[in-house]
Structure 1
Amino acid sequence: MNFPRPESRFADILSTSVLRQDLTASEDDQFRRALAAQSAVHMAEGALAVLGPVPIGEARQVLADLGRAVGTDIATVAEHLLNVVQGLDAPAAVTDELHRVLTPYRQDEPLR
């Protein structure tokens, strides 16, 4: 097998950080917010796959459906879902719709 050399990964990271030096403060803030939002979406997809149970390939669609149902964007829904998973407060509309959106997946779940 041909594995990438560690130096190549570090070179990519360094080149990204060098590129970030040229960003304005506003662009840097926007970049950070975008990364945080995407990270929350990916973590919420994982939570749905593990706890849903939702196939990982369908988890983003579940988040999108939930976002449409409560009238908010996918990143905000992801943050609310992560709060639910951690036992923190989330808007009642999100938790109510979450149960509704997950119902078809739970009906297909085999009995144990």
Structure 2
Amino acid sequence: MHSSRPQARFVKLSAAADRVSTTLEQAERSGLRRVLTSQAMIHMAEGALIVLGPMPTEDARRALADTARALNAHVHVVAEHVLNLVQGAAVPDSVFDELHRVLTRYRRDVPNDRSG
């Protein structure tokens, strides 16, 4: 004899599993969104450093990483500060000073005359 009761419990577990699955999918999408946003911010900051430097792409990437390491901060946090700086917003003095120090190390002399 089969009771309907175990089946009802199974259905309740299935519904709970579906809710958990949906919650996990939402968390995964949210995490992916954060990662993509951070990567975009890092790439924009690298572009800003390429112009500010001026410096090659590889050096901009290293300068951003070196600044983050010196400040004991995540690269995306430093990238956000760089973007704030180029937009004229205030950044912490420690970030400004370290960024200046690192940029001085990576700067390349670029000729003023680009005609030839």
Question: 1:100: which partner in 2?
Answer: 101
Q: Decide whether aligned partners of structure 1 residues 52 and 110 sit closer, same or farther in structure 2, where only a CA change above 3 A counts.
A: closer
TM-score by length of 1: 0.73
Q: How many residues align?
A: 90
Unaligned runs of 5+ in 2: 1-23
Question: 1:109: which partner in 2?
Answer: 109
Give the share of equivalent positions with the same residue, in percent: 52
Residues 45-86 of structure 1, C-alpha deviations (whole Å, 9 max, x = no match): 100111121211211110010001111011111011000010
Question: 1:67: which partner in 2?
Answer: 68
CA distance in 1, matches of 2:104, 2:59: 14
Q: Alpha-carbon deviation of 1:105? A: 3.3
Question: 2:47: which partner in 1?
Answer: 46
CA distance in 2, matches of 1:100, 1:74: 16
Residues 30-51 of structure 1, C-alpha deviations (whole Å, 9 max, x = no match): 0100000000010011001111
- Partner secondary structure for residue 90 of structure 2: coil
- Partner secondary structure for residue 24 of structure 1: helix
- Letter in structure 2 aligned against 1:101: V
C-alpha RMSD over aligned residues: 1.8
CA distance in 2, matches of 1:48, 1:27: 31
**2:22 pairs with 1:28:** no
Structure with bigger gyration radius: 2
